[in-house]
């Protein structure tokens, strides 16, 4: 004897599997946890100079005419970058312009390559080319700490 699920049972199970919420039987409306913000929701106020509002309270403005110190190398965590791009290169936030440099691993292996700015924030990590990973003898799935020295 075979047992068959009625069509409504199949429909309910398939909708539940999709993550859709089914109406409650015999219950009232249940408020959703995520609701659109109302008029009473506090919002950041616009500044008179037109700059976006500060996220952190008490954040200091940079001095007029002050510029960031250009990145000049250091240590970073690196992973495999875009394997379809040929060449020996490292995309890193430790440099601000394309140039030549040396990358050294903790084991002492090093290679000369092209340093490319990644545009990321300091500490955001770097990406090595496939050829650079192979030249350094690294496992392609590794996250490795490297020292970057612009030349």
Length, in residues, of the chain: 151
In this structure, what token pair is assigned to residue 137?
A: 């003898």
Please report the beta strands in 2-86, taking only residues with DSSP state E, as ranges in sequence order.
Answer: 74-80
Low-confidence ranges of the chain (pLDDT < 70): 1-71
pLDDT at residue 35 in the model: 57
pLDDT at residue 116 in the model: 94
pLDDT at residue 1 in the model: 53
pLDDT at residue 16 in the model: 57
**To which H or E segment does residue 149 belong?**
strand 144-150
pLDDT at residue 34 in the model: 54
> What's this model's pTM, rounded to 2 decimal places?
0.53
């Amino acid at each position: 004897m075979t047992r068959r699920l009625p069509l409504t049972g199949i429909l309910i199970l398939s909708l539940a599997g999709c993550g859709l919420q089914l109406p409650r039987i015999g219950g009232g409306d249940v408020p959703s946890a995520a609701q659109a913000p109302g008029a009473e929701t506090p919002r950041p106020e616009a500044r008179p100079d037109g700059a976006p509002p500060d996220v952190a309270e008490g954040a200091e403005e940079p001095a007029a005419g002050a510029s960031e110190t250009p990145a000049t190398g250091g240590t970073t965590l690196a992973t495999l970058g875009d394997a379809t791009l040929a060449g020996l290169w490292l995309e890193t936030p430790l440099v601000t312009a394309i140039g030549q440099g040396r990358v050294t691993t903790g084991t002492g292996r090093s290679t000369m390559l092209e340093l490319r700015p990644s545009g990321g924030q300091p500490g955001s990590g770097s990406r090595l080319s496939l050829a650079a990973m192979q030249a350094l003898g690294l496992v392609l799935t590794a996250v490795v700490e490297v020292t970057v020295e612009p030349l």
